[in-house]
Amino acid sequence: MDKKVIALLNQQVNKEFFSAYLYLSFANYFENRGLSGFANWYLIQAQEERDHAMLFVKFLQNNDESLIYEAIEKPASTWENEMEVLKAGLAHEKFITDSINKIYATALDLKDFRTTQFLDWFIKEQGEEETNANELIQQAELIGKSGNGLYMLDQKLALRVYAAPSLVL
């Protein structure tokens, strides 16, 4: 594999672990506000991000490439209100989409089709991640300042259960 692609994949491991850390911070924010359904939703999101990180790890290992676990940046922990957290989630997913697109474009330039094929799953996954983040914002906008609505959305988000990724390496 080309060194450029390896470096980007290695950086992506860190970005996925950071995503997990960021969502743990979101979960903590909501837990402290008595919104344990939102907290549950982001705890599961964090589990998914760890899975994403490990898929990149496994892909590098399967290709006999070494990787290094770099330091994980400290995530934000304070926001003005719930909506700000949800918007930070969408902005972060867009950042991750850009990052994966960049790896894809680099691999394609280098005719590294094994990597582009591996990334196909993530391209689709990022579409779903952005849709989920966007829907949460739309639902919160509909609720506005209604305490009842917030409580009902929290009850709904409490139902989310963890599912292992459909991609197995």
Question: What's the 3-state SS for 70-96?
Answer: CCCCCCCCCCCCHHHHHHHHHHHHHHH
Instruction: Measure the CA–CA gap between 28 and 37, rounded to whole angstroms.
Output: 12
Out of 5, 13, 14, 16, point to the residue binding ligand FEO (CB under 6 A).
Answer: 16
Per CB under 6 A, the list member of 82, 112, 129, 154 interacting with ligand FEO is 129
User: Interface with ligand FEO includes 18 (CB under 6 A)?
Assistant: no
The residue among 121 and 143 lying less far from ligand FEO, judged by its C-beta, is 121
Question: Under the criterion CB under 6 A, does residue 43 sit at the interface with ligand FEO?
Answer: no
How far does CA 149 lie from the centroid of its chain?
26
Q: Does 157 bind ligand FEO (CB under 6 A)?
A: no
Quick check: 140 binds ligand FEO (CB under 6 A)?
A: no
Instruction: Report CA torsion sign: 130, 132, 135, 136.
Output: negative
* Binders in 73-112 for ligand FEO, by CB under 6 A: 93, 96
Distance of CA 113 to the CA centre of its chain: 24
Cα separations in angstroms, 56 against 102, 165, 167: 15, 13, 11
Number of residues that bind ligand FEO (CB under 6 A): 7
- Indicate whether 19 belongs to the interface with ligand FEO (CB under 6 A): yes
Q: How far is the CB of 2 from ligand FEO (least distance, A)?
A: 23
Residues that bind ligand FEO (CB under 6 A): 16, 19, 49, 52, 93, 96, 129
